[in-house]
A = this chain, B = another copy of it.
Amino acid sequence: MKKPEKGQIWVEHKDTLPEKMPTWQERRILAFGEPMMCVENTFEVGDKAPWHEHVHAQITYVMEGEFDFNVDGEHKLVGKGDSVYMAPHAYHEVICTKPGKVLDMFAPYREDFV
């Protein structure tokens, strides 16, 4: 299991690298290239992605579970199928309230993740 190459067309989930994260369960870098990246994150209740910002625009799609999301100080409880758009430099934080998975999309792609 390893991180995909930039521009790799086919990224099979079984080949992706599960990375244990300091404040949540697991991150897997999925397909990426110019100009975007797809990342799968797994959370247990109480896990969080702490308050931060970055130059990359981000969309988070909730695959399962429930999350207390905070974007620029505005809170919302989001669940399966909901999506959240964060403009470049929007501060955001997420706290897991029911175990689940989210898909994070970044543009440009996260060079700091590879």
Question: Interface size (A, Cβ < 8 Å)?
Answer: 38
Cβ A82 vs Cβ B34 within 8 A: no
Which residues of chain B are within 8 angstroms of A71 by Cβ–Cβ distance? 9
* Least Cβ–Cβ distance between A84 and chain B, in angstroms: 6
Cβ A82 vs Cβ B11 within 8 A: yes
Given contacts A9-B71, A9-B85, A30-B83, list 20 more A-B pairs with CB under 8 A: A7-B87, A9-B84, A10-B84, A12-B82, A13-B82, A30-B61, A31-B59, A31-B61, A31-B83, A31-B85, A32-B59, A32-B85, A33-B57, A35-B35, A35-B107, A36-B105, A38-B105, A59-B105, A61-B103, A63-B63
Cβ B36 vs Cβ A81 within 8 A: no
Cβ B35 vs Cβ A74 within 8 A: no
Which residues of chain B are within 8 angstroms of A34 by Cβ–Cβ distance? 57, 87
Question: Is A80 located at the chain interface by the 8 A CB criterion?
Answer: yes
